[in-house]
Structure 1
Protein backbone atom coordinates (compact mmCIF):
# COMPACT_ATOMS: atom_id res chain seq x y z
CA UNK A 1 0.00 0.00 0.00
CA UNK A 2 1.40 3.38 -1.02
CA UNK A 3 1.56 6.44 1.25
CA UNK A 4 -1.14 8.05 -0.88
CA UNK A 5 -3.52 5.16 -0.25
CA UNK A 6 -2.62 5.03 3.45
CA UNK A 7 -4.12 8.44 4.28
CA UNK A 8 -7.38 8.16 2.37
CA UNK A 9 -10.85 7.24 3.50
CA UNK A 10 -10.62 4.14 1.33
CA UNK A 11 -8.34 2.77 4.06
CA UNK A 12 -10.60 1.39 6.80
CA UNK A 13 -7.88 1.86 9.45
CA UNK A 14 -7.56 5.54 8.54
CA UNK A 15 -11.35 5.94 8.70
CA UNK A 16 -11.41 4.30 12.13
CA UNK A 17 -8.59 6.49 13.45
CA UNK A 18 -10.28 9.68 12.21
CA UNK A 19 -13.61 8.55 13.65
CA UNK A 20 -12.15 7.80 17.08
CA UNK A 21 -10.24 11.10 17.14
CA UNK A 22 -13.35 13.06 16.14
CA UNK A 23 -15.43 11.27 18.80
CA UNK A 24 -12.87 12.05 21.51
CA UNK A 25 -12.80 15.70 20.40
CA UNK A 26 -16.58 15.99 20.47
CA UNK A 27 -16.89 14.35 23.90
CA UNK A 28 -14.12 16.58 25.27
CA UNK A 29 -15.74 19.76 23.92
CA UNK A 30 -19.18 18.82 25.25
CA UNK A 31 -17.76 17.84 28.63
CA UNK A 32 -15.45 20.83 29.04
CA UNK A 33 -17.64 23.55 27.59
CA UNK A 34 -21.16 22.44 28.52
CA UNK A 35 -21.33 19.65 31.12
CA UNK A 36 -18.71 20.97 33.56
CA UNK A 37 -19.96 24.60 33.53
CA UNK A 38 -23.51 23.40 34.28
CA UNK A 39 -22.09 21.27 37.10
CA UNK A 40 -21.19 24.42 39.06
CA UNK A 41 -23.94 24.63 41.70
CA UNK A 42 -23.29 28.29 42.48
CA UNK A 43 -23.90 29.57 38.92
CA UNK A 44 -27.01 29.28 36.78
CA UNK A 45 -26.83 29.60 33.00
CA UNK A 46 -29.74 30.63 30.80
CA UNK A 47 -28.62 28.37 27.95
CA UNK A 48 -25.80 26.24 26.61
CA UNK A 49 -24.24 29.20 24.79
CA UNK A 50 -23.71 31.04 28.09
CA UNK A 51 -22.08 27.92 29.54
CA UNK A 52 -19.73 27.73 26.54
CA UNK A 53 -18.84 31.43 26.89
CA UNK A 54 -18.16 30.96 30.59
CA UNK A 55 -15.86 27.98 29.95
CA UNK A 56 -14.02 29.97 27.28
CA UNK A 57 -13.47 32.86 29.70
CA UNK A 58 -15.86 35.24 27.92
CA UNK A 59 -18.38 37.37 29.85
CA UNK A 60 -22.00 36.24 29.79
CA UNK A 61 -24.75 38.67 30.63
CA UNK A 62 -27.44 36.13 31.37
CA UNK A 63 -25.48 33.91 33.76
CA UNK A 64 -26.63 34.52 37.30
CA UNK A 65 -25.20 33.47 40.60
CA UNK A 66 -27.23 31.06 42.69
CA UNK A 67 -29.39 32.35 45.53
CA UNK A 68 -26.84 32.03 48.37
CA UNK A 69 -24.51 34.37 46.48
CA UNK A 70 -27.14 36.99 45.55
CA UNK A 71 -27.59 38.45 49.01
CA UNK A 72 -25.32 41.06 50.54
CA UNK A 73 -23.10 43.80 49.22
CA UNK A 74 -20.08 43.43 46.98
CA UNK A 75 -16.76 45.19 47.42
CA UNK A 76 -16.59 48.48 45.57
CA UNK A 77 -12.95 49.23 46.37
CA UNK A 78 -10.69 49.81 43.37
CA UNK A 79 -7.01 49.16 44.02
CA UNK A 80 -4.10 50.20 41.84
CA UNK A 81 -0.33 50.15 42.23
CA UNK A 82 -0.49 53.76 43.44
CA UNK A 83 -3.11 53.19 46.17
CA UNK A 84 -1.57 54.56 49.39
CA UNK A 85 1.85 54.29 47.78
CA UNK A 86 3.09 57.36 49.64
CA UNK A 87 2.57 57.91 53.34
CA UNK A 88 3.61 60.84 55.48
CA UNK A 89 4.88 60.78 59.04
CA UNK A 90 1.80 62.75 60.04
CA UNK A 91 -0.49 60.07 58.60
CA UNK A 92 1.45 57.33 60.37
CA UNK A 93 1.22 59.27 63.64
CA UNK A 94 -2.52 59.72 63.31
CA UNK A 95 -2.85 56.02 62.52
CA UNK A 96 -0.85 55.10 65.64
CA UNK A 97 -3.32 57.03 67.78
CA UNK A 98 -6.32 55.37 66.14
CA UNK A 99 -4.70 51.94 66.42
CA UNK A 100 -4.86 52.05 70.21
CA UNK A 101 -8.49 51.00 69.82
CA UNK A 102 -7.39 48.00 67.76
CA UNK A 103 -4.75 46.72 70.19
CA UNK A 104 -7.06 44.47 72.20
CA UNK A 105 -7.46 42.14 69.21
CA UNK A 106 -4.52 42.95 66.92
CA UNK A 107 -1.90 43.55 69.61
CA UNK A 108 -0.15 46.78 70.66
CA UNK A 109 2.47 46.29 67.93
CA UNK A 110 0.18 44.75 65.33
CA UNK A 111 0.99 41.15 66.35
CA UNK A 112 -2.07 39.34 67.65
CA UNK A 113 -2.32 36.69 70.35
CA UNK A 114 -6.05 36.16 69.82
CA UNK A 115 -6.21 34.42 66.41
CA UNK A 116 -6.93 37.81 64.86
CA UNK A 117 -4.89 38.87 61.81
CA UNK A 118 -1.38 40.19 62.38
CA UNK A 119 -1.45 43.67 60.87
CA UNK A 120 2.18 44.72 61.41
CA UNK A 121 3.83 45.11 58.02
CA UNK A 122 0.69 44.16 56.14
CA UNK A 123 0.31 45.86 52.76
CA UNK A 124 -1.47 49.17 53.25
CA UNK A 125 -3.77 48.51 50.28
CA UNK A 126 -4.99 45.30 51.95
CA UNK A 127 -5.96 47.00 55.21
CA UNK A 128 -7.46 49.89 53.25
CA UNK A 129 -9.69 47.55 51.24
CA UNK A 130 -10.81 45.41 54.17
CA UNK A 131 -11.71 48.41 56.35
CA UNK A 132 -13.72 49.89 53.49
CA UNK A 133 -15.47 46.54 53.01
CA UNK A 134 -16.26 46.26 56.72
CA UNK A 135 -17.64 49.81 56.64
CA UNK A 136 -19.81 49.22 53.56
CA UNK A 137 -21.03 45.80 54.68
CA UNK A 138 -19.33 43.92 51.85
CA UNK A 139 -17.57 42.00 54.62
CA UNK A 140 -19.15 41.48 58.02
CA UNK A 141 -17.83 40.61 61.45
CA UNK A 142 -19.39 41.06 64.87
CA UNK A 143 -16.38 43.04 66.12
CA UNK A 144 -15.01 44.77 63.04
CA UNK A 145 -18.27 45.94 61.46
CA UNK A 146 -19.35 48.21 64.36
CA UNK A 147 -15.80 49.52 64.65
CA UNK A 148 -15.39 50.35 60.95
CA UNK A 149 -18.82 51.84 60.31
CA UNK A 150 -17.86 55.22 61.79
CA UNK A 151 -14.37 55.49 60.29
CA UNK A 152 -13.77 58.26 57.78
CA UNK A 153 -11.82 57.76 54.57
CA UNK A 154 -8.90 59.64 56.10
CA UNK A 155 -8.91 57.48 59.23
CA UNK A 156 -8.94 54.31 57.14
CA UNK A 157 -5.97 55.59 55.14
CA UNK A 158 -4.10 56.59 58.31
CA UNK A 159 -4.63 53.17 59.94
CA UNK A 160 -3.52 51.44 56.74
CA UNK A 161 -0.34 53.51 56.53
CA UNK A 162 0.46 52.99 60.21
CA UNK A 163 0.21 49.21 60.20
CA UNK A 164 2.13 48.98 56.92
CA UNK A 165 4.90 51.02 58.58
CA UNK A 166 5.34 48.57 61.49
CA UNK A 167 7.99 45.79 61.17
CA UNK A 168 6.52 42.61 59.76
CA UNK A 169 6.68 39.30 61.60
CA UNK A 170 9.69 37.59 60.00
CA UNK A 171 8.98 34.63 57.74
CA UNK A 172 10.19 31.47 59.42
CA UNK A 173 9.42 27.82 58.84
CA UNK A 174 10.83 25.57 61.59
CA UNK A 175 11.20 22.54 59.31
CA UNK A 176 12.86 23.92 56.15
CA UNK A 177 13.88 20.45 55.06
CA UNK A 178 10.24 19.55 54.43
CA UNK A 179 8.89 20.41 50.98
CA UNK A 180 6.46 23.28 50.71
CA UNK A 181 2.87 22.17 50.08
CA UNK A 182 2.08 21.76 46.39
CA UNK A 183 -0.97 24.00 46.75
CA UNK A 184 1.31 26.88 47.83
CA UNK A 185 4.02 26.48 45.19
CA UNK A 186 2.29 24.81 42.24
CA UNK A 187 -1.43 25.16 42.91
CA UNK A 188 -3.69 22.67 41.17
CA UNK A 189 -3.91 23.66 37.47
CA UNK A 190 -6.34 20.89 36.57
CA UNK A 191 -8.81 22.38 39.06
CA UNK A 192 -8.12 25.98 38.15
CA UNK A 193 -6.19 26.75 41.36
CA UNK A 194 -3.25 29.12 41.05
CA UNK A 195 -0.36 28.73 43.51
CA UNK A 196 -1.13 30.51 46.80
CA UNK A 197 2.37 31.98 46.68
CA UNK A 198 1.73 33.72 43.35
CA UNK A 199 -0.58 36.21 45.06
CA UNK A 200 0.16 36.00 48.78
CA UNK A 201 3.94 36.04 48.92
CA UNK A 202 6.57 33.27 48.69
CA UNK A 203 6.53 33.67 44.89
CA UNK A 204 4.90 37.03 44.17
CA UNK A 205 2.28 39.44 45.44
CA UNK A 206 -0.89 40.63 43.77
CA UNK A 207 -2.21 44.09 44.66
CA UNK A 208 -4.86 43.71 47.34
CA UNK A 209 -3.75 40.21 48.35
CA UNK A 210 -2.62 39.98 51.99
CA UNK A 211 0.79 38.83 53.14
CA UNK A 212 0.09 35.50 54.87
CA UNK A 213 3.40 34.56 56.50
CA UNK A 214 2.89 34.22 60.24
CA UNK A 215 -0.88 34.65 60.25
CA UNK A 216 -3.00 32.58 62.60
CA UNK A 217 -3.65 29.06 61.31
CA UNK A 218 -7.15 29.06 62.80
CA UNK A 219 -7.92 32.41 61.19
CA UNK A 220 -6.71 31.36 57.74
CA UNK A 221 -8.65 28.10 57.85
CA UNK A 222 -11.78 29.96 58.91
CA UNK A 223 -11.45 32.46 56.06
CA UNK A 224 -10.87 29.78 53.42
CA UNK A 225 -13.89 27.88 54.67
CA UNK A 226 -15.94 31.10 54.66
CA UNK A 227 -14.92 31.78 51.05
CA UNK A 228 -15.77 28.19 50.09
CA UNK A 229 -19.24 28.38 51.64
CA UNK A 230 -19.94 31.87 50.29
CA UNK A 231 -20.23 33.31 53.79
CA UNK A 232 -17.40 35.69 52.91
CA UNK A 233 -17.78 37.29 49.52
CA UNK A 234 -15.78 40.52 49.34
CA UNK A 235 -13.29 39.04 46.87
CA UNK A 236 -13.53 40.82 43.55
CA UNK A 237 -14.64 38.57 40.65
CA UNK A 238 -15.10 35.65 43.10
CA UNK A 239 -11.45 34.71 42.70
CA UNK A 240 -10.99 33.43 46.26
CA UNK A 241 -14.42 31.80 46.39
CA UNK A 242 -13.70 29.84 43.23
CA UNK A 243 -10.31 28.75 44.55
CA UNK A 244 -11.52 27.84 48.04
CA UNK A 245 -14.43 25.80 46.65
CA UNK A 246 -11.99 23.76 44.57
CA UNK A 247 -9.55 23.15 47.43
CA UNK A 248 -9.76 19.94 49.43
CA UNK A 249 -9.94 20.07 53.24
CA UNK A 250 -6.40 18.67 53.31
CA UNK A 251 -5.12 21.47 51.04
CA UNK A 252 -6.76 24.08 53.25
CA UNK A 253 -5.06 22.52 56.28
CA UNK A 254 -1.69 22.40 54.51
CA UNK A 255 -1.80 25.99 53.28
CA UNK A 256 -2.91 27.36 56.66
CA UNK A 257 -0.29 25.33 58.54
CA UNK A 258 2.50 26.35 56.17
CA UNK A 259 1.83 30.07 56.32
CA UNK A 260 1.24 29.97 60.08
CA UNK A 261 4.40 28.01 60.92
CA UNK A 262 5.89 30.60 63.23
CA UNK A 263 7.48 29.36 66.47
CA UNK A 264 6.27 30.96 69.70
CA UNK A 265 9.69 32.40 70.56
CA UNK A 266 9.74 34.45 67.37
CA UNK A 267 6.33 35.90 68.15
CA UNK A 268 7.41 36.79 71.68
CA UNK A 269 10.58 38.41 70.43
CA UNK A 270 8.60 40.70 68.14
CA UNK A 271 5.62 41.38 70.35
Structure 2
Protein backbone atom coordinates (compact mmCIF):
# COMPACT_ATOMS: atom_id res chain seq x y z
CA UNK A 1 0.00 0.00 0.00
CA UNK A 2 1.36 3.44 -0.94
CA UNK A 3 2.18 5.78 1.91
CA UNK A 4 0.24 9.02 2.26
CA UNK A 5 3.32 11.20 2.51
CA UNK A 6 4.81 13.86 0.31
CA UNK A 7 7.47 11.38 -0.64
CA UNK A 8 4.80 9.63 -2.67
CA UNK A 9 4.67 11.37 -6.10
CA UNK A 10 0.91 10.76 -6.41
CA UNK A 11 0.29 12.53 -3.12
CA UNK A 12 2.42 15.45 -4.26
CA UNK A 13 0.54 15.65 -7.58
CA UNK A 14 -2.85 15.52 -5.82
CA UNK A 15 -2.00 18.17 -3.23
CA UNK A 16 -0.42 20.38 -5.88
CA UNK A 17 -3.45 20.01 -8.13
CA UNK A 18 -5.83 20.99 -5.33
CA UNK A 19 -3.73 24.05 -4.47
CA UNK A 20 -3.57 25.14 -8.10
CA UNK A 21 -7.35 24.76 -8.48
CA UNK A 22 -7.92 26.75 -5.28
CA UNK A 23 -5.67 29.58 -6.46
CA UNK A 24 -7.29 29.66 -9.90
CA UNK A 25 -10.77 29.70 -8.37
CA UNK A 26 -9.84 32.51 -5.95
CA UNK A 27 -8.26 34.50 -8.74
CA UNK A 28 -11.32 34.06 -10.95
CA UNK A 29 -13.82 34.99 -8.26
CA UNK A 30 -11.95 37.74 -6.44
CA UNK A 31 -9.97 39.38 -9.26
CA UNK A 32 -11.11 38.54 -12.80
CA UNK A 33 -14.89 38.68 -12.20
CA UNK A 34 -14.94 42.10 -10.43
CA UNK A 35 -12.64 43.61 -13.08
CA UNK A 36 -14.69 42.15 -15.92
CA UNK A 37 -17.94 43.55 -14.51
CA UNK A 38 -16.76 46.98 -13.36
CA UNK A 39 -14.70 49.11 -15.70
CA UNK A 40 -13.73 51.44 -12.83
CA UNK A 41 -11.76 48.67 -11.13
CA UNK A 42 -8.19 48.45 -12.38
CA UNK A 43 -6.25 47.50 -9.24
CA UNK A 44 -6.13 44.00 -7.79
CA UNK A 45 -6.84 45.23 -4.24
CA UNK A 46 -9.94 47.11 -5.39
CA UNK A 47 -11.16 43.96 -7.12
CA UNK A 48 -10.66 41.88 -3.97
CA UNK A 49 -12.45 44.49 -1.84
CA UNK A 50 -15.34 44.59 -4.28
CA UNK A 51 -15.71 40.80 -4.26
CA UNK A 52 -15.55 40.69 -0.46
CA UNK A 53 -18.21 43.39 -0.15
CA UNK A 54 -16.04 45.96 1.63
CA UNK A 55 -15.09 49.45 0.59
CA UNK A 56 -11.95 49.83 -1.49
CA UNK A 57 -10.27 52.84 -3.04
CA UNK A 58 -12.68 52.96 -5.99
CA UNK A 59 -15.67 53.28 -3.68
CA UNK A 60 -13.91 55.87 -1.57
CA UNK A 61 -13.06 57.97 -4.63
CA UNK A 62 -16.62 57.67 -5.91
CA UNK A 63 -17.95 58.91 -2.58
CA UNK A 64 -15.69 61.96 -2.57
CA UNK A 65 -13.48 63.37 0.14
CA UNK A 66 -15.72 65.86 1.93
CA UNK A 67 -17.51 64.91 5.14
CA UNK A 68 -20.95 65.18 3.54
CA UNK A 69 -20.25 62.21 1.29
CA UNK A 70 -17.63 60.27 3.25
CA UNK A 71 -18.92 57.15 5.05
CA UNK A 72 -19.35 57.37 8.80
CA UNK A 73 -16.29 56.83 10.97
CA UNK A 74 -18.29 57.05 14.19
CA UNK A 75 -17.78 53.79 16.06
CA UNK A 76 -19.77 53.39 19.27
CA UNK A 77 -18.90 50.59 21.67
CA UNK A 78 -20.70 49.48 24.81
CA UNK A 79 -17.87 50.82 26.98
CA UNK A 80 -18.35 54.34 25.54
CA UNK A 81 -21.88 54.60 26.90
CA UNK A 82 -21.63 55.26 30.61
CA UNK A 83 -24.63 54.18 32.73
CA UNK A 84 -27.15 57.03 32.59
CA UNK A 85 -28.03 58.72 35.86
CA UNK A 86 -31.04 60.81 36.86
CA UNK A 87 -29.15 64.05 36.23
CA UNK A 88 -28.26 63.07 32.66
CA UNK A 89 -31.82 61.92 31.94
CA UNK A 90 -33.19 65.18 33.36
CA UNK A 91 -30.90 67.29 31.19
CA UNK A 92 -31.94 65.18 28.21
CA UNK A 93 -35.62 65.77 28.96
CA UNK A 94 -35.03 69.52 28.87
CA UNK A 95 -33.12 69.31 25.59
CA UNK A 96 -35.82 67.06 24.11
CA UNK A 97 -38.42 69.82 24.34
CA UNK A 98 -37.15 71.13 21.01
CA UNK A 99 -37.63 67.68 19.46
CA UNK A 100 -41.32 67.21 20.26
CA UNK A 101 -42.71 68.54 16.99
CA UNK A 102 -41.23 65.63 15.02
CA UNK A 103 -40.57 62.95 17.64
CA UNK A 104 -43.57 63.48 19.91
CA UNK A 105 -43.87 64.63 23.52
CA UNK A 106 -43.02 61.17 24.84
CA UNK A 107 -40.77 60.09 22.00
CA UNK A 108 -43.61 58.58 19.92
CA UNK A 109 -43.95 60.34 16.59
CA UNK A 110 -47.14 61.29 14.80
CA UNK A 111 -45.22 62.69 11.84
CA UNK A 112 -43.62 59.50 10.46
CA UNK A 113 -40.36 60.47 12.12
CA UNK A 114 -38.48 57.83 14.15
CA UNK A 115 -40.03 56.77 17.44
CA UNK A 116 -37.26 57.35 19.97
CA UNK A 117 -38.92 56.16 23.18
CA UNK A 118 -37.10 53.08 24.44
CA UNK A 119 -34.62 53.18 21.59
CA UNK A 120 -31.10 51.83 22.12
CA UNK A 121 -29.07 54.59 23.78
CA UNK A 122 -25.95 53.94 21.69
CA UNK A 123 -28.00 53.97 18.48
CA UNK A 124 -29.39 57.44 19.22
CA UNK A 125 -25.97 58.75 20.20
CA UNK A 126 -24.34 57.43 17.01
CA UNK A 127 -26.97 59.01 14.75
CA UNK A 128 -26.62 62.36 16.50
CA UNK A 129 -22.84 62.16 16.09
CA UNK A 130 -23.26 61.33 12.40
CA UNK A 131 -25.62 64.27 11.84
CA UNK A 132 -23.16 66.61 13.56
CA UNK A 133 -20.24 65.28 11.49
CA UNK A 134 -22.30 65.56 8.27
CA UNK A 135 -22.06 61.82 7.70
CA UNK A 136 -25.85 61.61 7.62
CA UNK A 137 -27.75 64.26 5.72
CA UNK A 138 -30.96 65.93 6.91
CA UNK A 139 -32.06 69.50 6.32
CA UNK A 140 -33.94 69.35 9.65
CA UNK A 141 -31.61 67.39 11.92
CA UNK A 142 -28.23 68.82 10.95
CA UNK A 143 -28.98 72.44 12.01
CA UNK A 144 -30.49 71.19 15.29
CA UNK A 145 -27.50 69.02 16.16
CA UNK A 146 -24.83 71.43 14.92
CA UNK A 147 -24.37 73.18 18.27
CA UNK A 148 -24.88 70.22 20.58
CA UNK A 149 -21.95 69.19 22.74
CA UNK A 150 -20.96 65.56 23.15
CA UNK A 151 -22.48 65.54 26.65
CA UNK A 152 -25.75 66.97 25.36
CA UNK A 153 -25.97 64.21 22.74
CA UNK A 154 -25.35 61.65 25.47
CA UNK A 155 -28.04 63.25 27.63
CA UNK A 156 -30.59 63.14 24.81
CA UNK A 157 -29.77 59.50 24.13
CA UNK A 158 -30.08 58.66 27.83
CA UNK A 159 -33.46 60.38 28.11
CA UNK A 160 -35.06 58.70 25.11
CA UNK A 161 -33.64 55.30 26.05
CA UNK A 162 -35.17 55.76 29.51
CA UNK A 163 -38.70 56.24 28.15
CA UNK A 164 -40.90 53.14 27.78
CA UNK A 165 -41.03 51.64 24.29
CA UNK A 166 -44.69 52.26 23.53
CA UNK A 167 -46.16 50.36 20.61
CA UNK A 168 -49.33 48.61 19.57
CA UNK A 169 -49.43 44.87 20.33
CA UNK A 170 -48.52 42.70 17.37
CA UNK A 171 -51.32 40.85 15.62
CA UNK A 172 -51.41 37.25 16.80
CA UNK A 173 -50.29 34.48 14.50
CA UNK A 174 -48.32 36.69 12.11
CA UNK A 175 -45.28 34.84 10.82
CA UNK A 176 -41.97 36.67 10.62
CA UNK A 177 -40.56 37.08 7.10
CA UNK A 178 -37.65 34.78 6.30
CA UNK A 179 -35.43 37.81 5.76
CA UNK A 180 -35.98 38.70 9.41
CA UNK A 181 -35.31 35.28 10.90
CA UNK A 182 -33.02 33.60 8.35
CA UNK A 183 -31.84 36.27 5.93
CA UNK A 184 -30.94 35.10 2.41
CA UNK A 185 -27.57 33.32 2.64
CA UNK A 186 -27.28 32.77 -1.12
CA UNK A 187 -27.39 36.56 -1.57
CA UNK A 188 -25.09 37.25 1.40
CA UNK A 189 -27.96 38.80 3.37
CA UNK A 190 -27.85 38.16 7.10
CA UNK A 191 -30.96 37.81 9.24
CA UNK A 192 -32.29 41.15 10.50
CA UNK A 193 -32.51 39.75 14.02
CA UNK A 194 -28.76 39.13 14.06
CA UNK A 195 -28.24 42.90 14.51
CA UNK A 196 -31.59 44.50 15.29
CA UNK A 197 -32.72 42.39 18.21
CA UNK A 198 -34.15 38.91 18.49
CA UNK A 199 -31.11 36.67 18.77
CA UNK A 200 -28.60 39.52 19.11
CA UNK A 201 -28.40 43.27 19.42
CA UNK A 202 -25.45 45.14 17.97
CA UNK A 203 -24.19 47.96 20.18
CA UNK A 204 -25.41 50.83 18.01
CA UNK A 205 -28.02 49.07 15.88
CA UNK A 206 -31.49 50.53 16.44
CA UNK A 207 -34.53 48.57 17.51
CA UNK A 208 -36.89 48.53 14.53
CA UNK A 209 -40.09 47.29 16.15
CA UNK A 210 -42.81 49.91 16.08
CA UNK A 211 -41.00 52.38 13.83
CA UNK A 212 -43.17 54.11 11.21
CA UNK A 213 -43.56 52.09 8.03
CA UNK A 214 -42.77 55.07 5.80
CA UNK A 215 -39.59 55.80 7.75
CA UNK A 216 -38.26 52.24 7.50
CA UNK A 217 -39.08 52.06 3.79
CA UNK A 218 -37.37 55.38 3.09
CA UNK A 219 -34.22 54.40 4.98
CA UNK A 220 -33.91 51.03 3.21
CA UNK A 221 -34.35 52.77 -0.13
CA UNK A 222 -31.75 55.38 0.86
CA UNK A 223 -29.25 52.67 1.81
CA UNK A 224 -29.99 50.86 -1.45
CA UNK A 225 -29.42 53.95 -3.59
CA UNK A 226 -26.38 55.06 -1.56
CA UNK A 227 -27.87 58.41 -0.54
CA UNK A 228 -27.55 57.27 3.07
CA UNK A 229 -24.09 55.97 3.87
CA UNK A 230 -23.46 56.32 7.59
CA UNK A 231 -23.36 52.56 8.12
CA UNK A 232 -19.95 51.24 9.11
CA UNK A 233 -18.29 49.04 6.48
CA UNK A 234 -21.38 49.39 4.25
CA UNK A 235 -23.21 46.73 6.26
CA UNK A 236 -26.68 48.08 5.50
CA UNK A 237 -25.86 49.15 1.96
CA UNK A 238 -24.58 45.68 1.08
CA UNK A 239 -27.89 44.25 2.27
CA UNK A 240 -30.22 46.90 0.86
CA UNK A 241 -28.64 46.81 -2.63
CA UNK A 242 -29.97 43.29 -3.02
CA UNK A 243 -33.50 43.91 -1.73
CA UNK A 244 -36.37 44.19 -4.16
CA UNK A 245 -39.10 46.81 -3.79
CA UNK A 246 -41.46 44.07 -2.59
CA UNK A 247 -38.99 42.91 0.08
CA UNK A 248 -38.50 46.46 1.34
CA UNK A 249 -42.27 46.91 1.57
CA UNK A 250 -42.60 43.60 3.42
CA UNK A 251 -39.90 44.46 5.97
CA UNK A 252 -41.22 47.98 6.55
CA UNK A 253 -44.77 46.76 7.09
CA UNK A 254 -43.67 43.91 9.35
CA UNK A 255 -41.59 46.02 11.73
CA UNK A 256 -44.17 48.83 11.81
CA UNK A 257 -46.84 46.34 13.02
CA UNK A 258 -44.68 44.94 15.80
Query: Same fold judged by TM-score > 0.5?
Result: yes
Contact 1:68 1:230 in 2 (8 A): no
Aligned length: 239
Q: Deviations over 1:10-43 (max 9, x none)?
A: xxxxxxxxxxx9xx989965653235534776x9
The answer to whether the aligner puts 1:244 opposite 2:213 as a matched pair is: no
TM-score, normalisation: structure 1 = 0.78
Separation in structure 2 between the aligned mates of residue 133 and residue 251 of structure 1, nearest angstrom: 27
- Pick which of 28-37 and 97-106 moved more: 28-37
Q: Could you list the runs of 5+ residues in structure 1 that have no partner in the other structure? A: 1-20, 263-271
- Of 119-128 and 248-257, deviating more is 248-257
Structure 2 match to 1:65 = 59
Q: Deviations over 1:100-154 (max 9, x none)?
A: 1001100000000110000001111111111111111111111111101011111
User: Could you tell me which of 71, 85, 88 is aligned with 1:88?
Assistant: 85
Equivalent residue, structure 1, for 2:227: 231
Structure 1 residues 26 and 78: CA distance shift in structure 2, 3 A = closer
Q: Does 1:219 align with 2:181?
A: no
Aligned to 1:179: 175
8 Å Cα contact 1:185-1:196 kept in structure 2: yes
What corresponds to 1:158 in structure 2?
A: 155
CA contact (8 A) 1:224 1:244 kept: yes
Distance 1:179 1:27, change over 3 A: farther
- Per-residue deviation, residues 68-92 of structure 1 (Å, max 9, x unmatched): 5236233232211122240110000
Q: Is the 8 A contact 2:46 2:58 kept in 1?
A: no
Matched, 1:189 2:207: no
Residue of structure 1 in register with 2:121 after alignment: 124
Q: Which residue of 1 aligns with 2:198?
A: 202
Counterparts in 2 of 1:120 and 1:56: CA distance versus 1, 3 Å: closer
Report deviation, 1:53.
Answer: 5.8
Structure 2 residues not aligned, in runs of 5+: 1-17
Larger-Rg structure: 1
Distance 1:121 1:248, change over 3 A: same
Relative contact order (C-alpha < 8 Å, sep 6+): which is higher?
2
Partner residue, 2:13: none
Please tell me the root mean square deviation across aligned C-alpha atoms, in Å: 2.9
Cα distance, 1:49 vs structure 2 = 5.7
Kindly tell me: are residues 227 and 36 of structure 1, through their superposed partners in 2, closer, same or farther at Cα, counting changes over 3 Å? Answer: farther
Deviation string, structure 1 residues 163-196 (Cα, Å, up to 9, x no partner): 010001247321x323211111111111111111
On the 8 A contact 2:55/2:234 being kept in 1, the answer is no
Provide the TM-score with structure 2 as the length reference.
0.82
